[in-house]
Amino acid sequence: MALRTLRLMGDDILRKTAKPVTEITPKILALLDDMAETMAEKNGVGLAAPQIGILKRIVIIDLNDELIELINPEIVETEGTQEKSEGCLSLPGKSGLVVRPLWTKVRALNRHGEEIFVEGEEYMSIALNHELDHLDGILYIDKVIEMDPDDEDDEGDEE
């Protein structure tokens, strides 16, 4: 495993659409491992491959010490709405209020190529939507309804 360099706001790759994974190779498995190590090092909750410069449709989320790996994820169903503050590892020290679904269901492949479904409400729903947006070049600031006061000195978790 290896730490990868995070791409920050202003890097063009964050605005590009990621390509589907066509085959789960040892290189893809190593990427998943590197993403988990990088996210943990940065105290993140989620990480999408474009955030480390890889235009592949891969996302990881770690809530409650349960690492979820999603390859070629798609949102298949959502319900309700919620307004919560979000941050992002690619926009350190910034956060803002975003409207997201209260509940989200995602279909994806796991690292073994098996189809899985992940459902989440509240914070997990936010994380799923936030990370999948990255795969289409969308950042949370594109959806922000109000920026939070500058909190660059906070050490809290960011997605």
74 in Cβ contact with 58 (< 8 Å): no
Token couple for 91: 């926009």
pLDDT at 150 > cutoff 60: yes
- What local confidence, expressed as pLDDT, does residue 65 receive? 86
Residues designated as active site: 131
Q: Are 154 and 93 in contact (CB under 8 A)?
A: yes
Spatial contact of 62 and 45, defined as CB atoms under 8 Å apart:
yes
- Cα 37 to Cα 31: distance, rounded to the nearest angstrom: 10
> What pLDDT score was predicted for residue 153?
44
State the pLDDT at residue 151: 55
- What whole-number percentage of the chain has pLDDT above 90? 89
pTM for this prediction:
0.91
d(CA 39, CA 111): 17
**Domain segments of the chain: what residues?**
12-147
- Residue 109's H or E segment, with its range, is strand 103-109
**138 neighbors 72 (Cβ within 8 angstroms):** no
**Is residue 104's pLDDT more than 90?**
yes
C-beta neighbour count of 131 within 10 angstroms: 26
153/62: higher pLDDT: 62
Residues near 12 by beta carbon (within 8 Å), at least 6 away in sequence: none
Q: Is the pLDDT of residue 156 over 60?
A: no
The set of residues, in sequence order, having a beta carbon less than 8 Å from that of 22 and lying 6+ positions away, is none
Q: Quick one: fold of 12-147?
A: Peptide Deformylase (3.90.45)
51-79 pLDDT tens trace: 999 999 999 999 888 999 999 999 999 99
